[in-house]
Amino acid sequence: MVSVSLAHYLQKSVEPNQTGIALTNTILCLCNASKIIAKALCENGLPDNQLGIHVGDINSDGDSQKALDVLADKAIISSFTNASIAAYFSEEQETALLLEPDGKLVICVDPLDGSSNIDNNLSVGTIFSILARKSKIFEPEYIMSDALQPGENQLASGFFVYGPQTSLILTTGSGVASFILKQGEFIQMEWEPSIPNAGNQFAINMSNMRYWSQPATDYIQACLDGVDGPFAKNYNMRWCGSLVADAWRIFRQGGIFLYPEDSRENYHVGRLRLIYEANPVAFLVEQAGGRATDGNVEILKIEPKAIHQRVPLIFGSKDDVFNYESLY
Ligand code: F6P
Ligand code: MN
């Protein structure tokens, strides 16, 4: 196969109108930021792990910010040139960061997903969702509504994984493509992510079991019962603790990821964030033939109410996700 650069792929797959050009430029800007983040991570061991240290602030999630969270957020903001972005929404920013008054797009980002894994030489990533700006007035309360569109309105979404490879899974609305960073450039991989209809792996943080709702408890019990249970197949368990890494595996092998609601304080609506974690992943998942739900409603149909809103997130192979939904 002739190697195709991401820039070339975008030229073929995105309309060359004003919004399309803005979209292409935004994705290429994010790639530039991802190279800075990947390099910082590669060198994290020299002279000593510094990127996982707490740097003080509690971010919008109530998690304390680590050095790499801040570095990633800054690298992304500084990467934006000719991208026509009206506003940037980030896990690391309390509110909208207004950028270009005539910007055509808004972007919602989790700059560094899986930050508990930073110092452990495990995969982490950057997740992004790009939407068309609808507001006419360049003021925070108007721009805010642009980020609160249902996920089905996304123009593009994707995530970078910083692991053994620096890689990207991307959708611009017609299928999903994968890229790998090679000699400074993102090159398309032959692999077209497509989620098999059924899998035999589940990913969930089992340590929360005692807090789960009945459907989540029943579902995992059915998986554990294997060939003797209602699903009549044996499951294996994988849990990376980085959404991006667990998602990557599901794009390759199928299976199901669950971060359901639970009875802990602040977790009754799940843990993950709707506009910069669940929506971009759900868009990719649906484009790859899988399914994403909060248990009751498809993720992409939810009308967000707040920029840091949490949501239960269950996604993966269609049949597996249907099985989960049937317990609701
Ligand atoms: O961004 C949130 C996140 O780090 C995800 O990447 C991951 O799936 C999840 O939290 C793990 O959460 P916990 O370890 O708190 O269950
Ligand atoms: Mn995250």
For 303-319, the pLDDT digits (tens) are: 999 999 999 999 999 99
- In the set 10, 41, 51, 92, the catalytic residue is 92
β-strand pairing of 124-132 with 105-113:
antiparallel
Under 8 Å between Cβ of 166 and 38: yes
**Ligand nearest to the backbone CA of 110:** 2
Q: For residue range 149-174, list pLDDT tens digits in order.
A: 999 999 999 999 999 999 999 999 99
Q: Is the pTM of this model over 0.75?
A: yes
What integer best gives the mean pLDDT of the chain? 95
pLDDT band at 132 (very low <50, low <70, confident <90, very high): very high
| pLDDT over 90 at 106, yes or no | yes
Q: What pLDDT shows up at residue 39? A: 96
List the one residue out of 305, 297, 235 whose CA is nearest residue 273.
Answer: 305
Tens of pLDDT along 179-221? 999 999 999 999 999 999 999 999 999 999 999 999 999 999 9
Top mutation candidate among 204, 212, 242 for ligand 1, by most atoms within 8 Å of CB: 242
Domains of the chain by residue range: 6-188, 201-326
Pick among 3.50.50.60, 3.40.190.10, 3.30.540.10, 3.40.1190.20: CATH of 6-188:
3.30.540.10
Pick among 3.30.420.40, 1.10.3720.10, 3.40.190.80, 3.40.50.720: CATH of 201-326: 3.40.190.80
Helix (H, G, I), strand (E, B) or coil at 18: helix
CB burial readout 106-145, b (16+ within 10 A) else e: bbbbbbbbbbebbbeeebbbbbbbbbbbeeeebeeebbbe
Q: Is residue 328's pLDDT more than 90?
A: no
Residue 61 pLDDT: 59
- From the list 6, 30, 68, 91, the catalytic residue is 91
> Residue 227: is it exposed, middle or buried by C-beta count within 10 angstroms (0-12/13-18/19+)?
exposed
Binned at pLDDT 50, 70 and 90, residue 51 comes out as confident
